[in-house]
Amino acid sequence: MSEQTSTLVYLIMAAASLAIALWKGMALFRDPTPTLSLITTNFLCSTAIYVMAAPSVYVVIGEATGNPSFATLPVYIGILVCFAHLHLLTLLWSPMQQRSPATLRRRVTRWAALYGLAALLMVATFCSADLSEPADPLKFNTNNARDPVTLLFLAVFLSTLTCSTLSTFRQCRGVRLDDPRLQHAVRAFGIAMLFVFGYVVCSVPAVAFAASGSHALDDVGVWGSSFGVLGTLIASYGLCGAAVSAWLKERRDIRALQPLWDIVVAGVDPELAFSATSARSHRLAANVTFNLHRRVIEILDGMRVLRPWVRSEPVEAVYTLQERSVHEDVCTARPVPERELRAIATAAALRDAAERLQTAQRGGSSRPQPPDTPARHLLGEDTPAADERDRLLHIARVLTHPLVDAALQEVRGDGVAAATRVGRAP
């Protein structure tokens, strides 16, 4: 890569790392955990590394410090700091290590000592080396390999990076998580370590040839940085892939809940909404988790308001029509799973209650008196809070199910049309 191309690529990587660091920082503010702390500081460190490693910035730092190659020291130490963070993350992710805190502490202490010792040796050798010559940001390793002290500096750096990447890769291969998305992310994280190790594979022969006086492999060493960039991209996916997937799923769930929200909130009492923008919250890119939780709470509030208007007839009609459909055409009728049937019955009861309330509201009162009949409980009202989102999503998806429409027609007295419609249900 040319210096201009490298500068552009490195600054883009710095901007991406900073964006992820700010995103993770907001999550850390809401839920301070060791894992989020490590991820956030890792991306902040990565941002600083890519900024300083950009050839244009590298030259400016050299001119400001009076040492043309000075930026190499914080960049290389920063790389080790980043991989120390990533290595520690894999130790925290390992269920085996979580069950043995003493073993975890010993391993963390040993690796921290190794990284600390490597950093001290790198500072000592770098400060002792003669690096007064003009620097080529992309060829520091090969241009200075003939200096024994600089060669020792590079040997410490590349050896530590090798141990770090291969050990982290091995650790990732041993992690087994219950969440398939997290397991996929950890697998990608391990692959990233191999790509970063590709930088070592390219750099070692280039440095060895340069130390012997041959610069035939200098370009190989330069292209090694491309493996580092690819490894960083894959590692970023490993650290953020599961979170991005969850974020996208939350946005899809907000959109999926919209029809149910329209019926039990907007169609019942707009004041149940948290704010005037509630109906458009699915368009927001930020605070998606908050908007989803708010949407669930608003729907549950609307369902409680509708409870006095709920009657048992739509629920009974759903089960009766389904049983009739199965008995009349055993060969072709598709049995509806009990979970889906409960969601369909609930959807029918909610639509019927909302229609009854709206009819009463059209009579002249915005808050009409509910019918003087005992309140009926909706199916699933005893659902644990952690499962409410999933239950509401099932209800929202079946609001227009043929069985719901048929049950509502049945309770309105159009039984023939209802039976015909169920018979045509897929």
pLDDT in tens, 164-179: 899 888 888 877 777 7
Least confident among 228-242, 276-290, 370-384, 405-419: 276-290
The more confidently predicted of residues 156 and 334 is: 156
The pTM (predicted TM-score) of the whole model is 0.71
pLDDT of residue 176: 77
CB of 181 closer than 8 Å to CB of 242? yes
Q: How far is CA 96 from the centre of its chain?
A: 24
Query: Which of 236, 227, 229 is closest to 189 using CA atoms?
Result: 236
pLDDT of residue 421: 46
pLDDT of residue 35: 83
**Polymer length of the chain:** 426
Could you tell me the pLDDT band of residue 103, with boundaries at 50, 70 and 90?
confident
Q: Is the pLDDT of residue 405 over 70?
A: yes
| pLDDT tens readout for residues 339-350 | 888 999 999 999
Angle between helices 313-328 and 338-361 (to 10 degrees): 140
Q: Is the pLDDT of residue 425 over 50?
A: no
Return all residues near 198 (Cβ < 8 A) that are at least 6 apart. 224, 227, 228, 230, 231
Could you tell me the pLDDT band of residue 205, with boundaries at 50, 70 and 90?
very high
Q: Is the pLDDT of residue 394 over 80?
A: yes
| pLDDT tens readout for residues 51-67 | 998 988 998 998 898 88
Q: Is the pLDDT of residue 98 over 70?
A: no
* CA–CA gap between residue 43 and residue 192 (Å, rounded): 15
* CA–CA gap between residue 163 and residue 175 (Å, rounded): 18
Looking at residues 419-423, what average pLDDT do you find?
46
The more confidently predicted of residues 182 and 253 is: 253
Angle between helices 101-128 and 148-174 (to 10 degrees): 160
